[in-house]
Chain A
Amino acid sequence: GAGVSQTPSNKVTEKGKYVELRCDPISGHTALYWYRQSLGQGPEFLIYFQGTGAADDSGLPNDRFFAVRPEGSVSTLKIQRTERGDSAVYLCASSLQGQMNTEAFFGQGTRLTVV
């Protein structure tokens, strides 16, 4: 596709359940980022992949959150034992190299609601 694609666009889950959020980056982009945007706030960095490896996961809030990118393209953000405080829009972005001044392109996000 032409842009970053995220699925599903909306996800409602019950507290305590496990969820997976998918990101399809722009073809050829080696850098991939996950951000979380709570209502009325700016996006907050979660994790950055360069190729298949997580180069920086310092933004993950706790060990319930995990992300993978096994083939260096599609990434999945996994949240275990969801809590109501996990409700937010989860944004994925990709860029060509992940270096300074390289533009990051964002998907439309997955809105996660934990009830």
Chain B
Amino acid sequence: NAGVMQNPRHLVRRRGQEARLRCSPMKGHSHVYWYRQLPEEGLKFMVYLQKENIIDESGMPKERFSAEFPKEGPSILRIQQVVRGDSAAYFCASSPPMRRSQETQYFGPGTRLLVL
């Protein structure tokens, strides 16, 4: 029973390049969340998606960042024209389609993005 999978685990980009981070949720899970962790900080919510729908993107920066969760395939977090401030650990979590009162999110190992 594979857990949440993320790739790549490490990603190095130069300023101005694009970064694509992938997340495959646990089997049977249809809810995906992306969080970002800056050094010495807690995780900050970015976006919540269900298959083919963005449910809550209140934590996403207004520009350069986008996310999708297509009907087939992994969820993608895309960062265009990266800047040094985008350097962080990006975590994906998934949860099953159950009533929210008992919802638990399970996290992947994260992608560590370094912008040079």
Q: Do A and B bind each other?
A: no
